[in-house]
Structure formats: structure tokens, C-alpha cells
Amino acid sequence: MSNFNMNIDELADMLEQKRNRTKAALEIYANSSALKLQNNARRNKQWKDHTHDARNRLNTTWQWKNENLLSIALSHGVDYGIYLEKGTSPHVITGNPWLYWQGASHPVRRVNHPGAKPYPIIMPTINEIGPQVMTGLSILLR
């Protein structure tokens, strides 16, 4: 008859250490992946910069959503980011009571704006960098 003895406490400690090391590695990887997303988005934005705010405020964050779910987010930091992503449909801009701008021949009460075309950057960046992040993650977790 053969015997097998195992100290469960020691095994539990080793598993906890492995879990902590894996979590730390995931946090480092999430941080570097977030920076990769952010840099790619800032470099490949399609719109013409006027103040550079829209580009400079493309931000990434990462956080643990719960004990087992790590999330990386890429977002606009300007309030008009949604209009850069989606564009706008034609709309009327009305004055209060008048509109005037440099170069206009006279004030007007309203302007028919043709809409703005979209300049998406969030999903194109995720579609480009996301697979690279997932490949790196699978290598990290081997």
C-alpha cells in the first residue's frame, strides 16, 4: 500500500501567492495596454486639430470591475467627443436674437447647418489594438 501526504495549508498558500502574482501581472499589462490604445488613438485621429483638446483628452483607464473582471476603457475627454465619433445630422442654428461671425456680410437669425461628418476613432482603435491586447494576454496567462 502506498501513501500520499499533502499539506493543504501549504497548497492554499501557494495558490494564493500565484493568484496575487497573476493579478499584479495583469495590472501591469492592463496599464501598458491602455497606454497603447491611447497613443494609437491620439496618433490616428482623423479630424483636423484646432485646439488639440480633443486629441490630448483621448483617455484610457483600467479598473477591476470585480474580483475576476478587469476592464480597459478608451474615451473622449471633451464634451463634443460624441459628435466627432458619430457626426451630426443637418440642423438649424438659431440666434438669440442674431448670429454673426467674422467674415459674415450681415447678422442672421438662423443658419441651416448641413451637419458634420463623423470622425470615429474609438472603435477603429479598439478593432486595431484589441486583438493585439488579447494575443498578449493569452501569452501572459500561459
DSSP state of 116: -
Q: Quote the domain boundaries for residue 15.
A: 8-140
- What are the DSSP calls for 10-36, one per residue? HHHHHHHHHHHHHHHHHHHHHHHHHHH
In a domain, 76, yes or no: yes
**CA-wise closest residue to 61 among 85, 41, 34, 82:** 34
Residue whose C-alpha is closest to residue 122's, from 29, 45, 31, 43? 45
Residue 26 has pLDDT above 80, yes or no: yes
Lowest mean pLDDT among 6-15, 39-48, 108-117: 6-15
Domain annotation covers residue 100: yes
Structural domain includes residue 1: no
Residue 109 phi/psi, 5° resolution? -85, -30
The mean pLDDT of the chain is 95
Contacting residues for 112 by C-beta, under 8 A, at least 6 apart: 90, 92
The pTM score is: 0.83
11 or 36, which is more confident: 36
**Is 2 a domain residue?**
no
H helix and E strand count, the chain: 4, 4
Which stretches does DSSP call E strand in 1-142?
Answer: 58-66, 69-76, 91-99, 108-113
* Rounded mean pLDDT, 90-117: 95
Residue 3 lies in a domain: no
Query: Is residue 82 a part of any domain in this protein?
Result: yes
- Is residue 96 situated within a structural domain? yes
Residue-level pLDDT at 2: 81
> For the chain, what is the domain count?
1
Q: Which of 32, 31, 36 is nearest to 62 (CA)?
A: 31
Residue 114: inside a domain, yes or no? yes
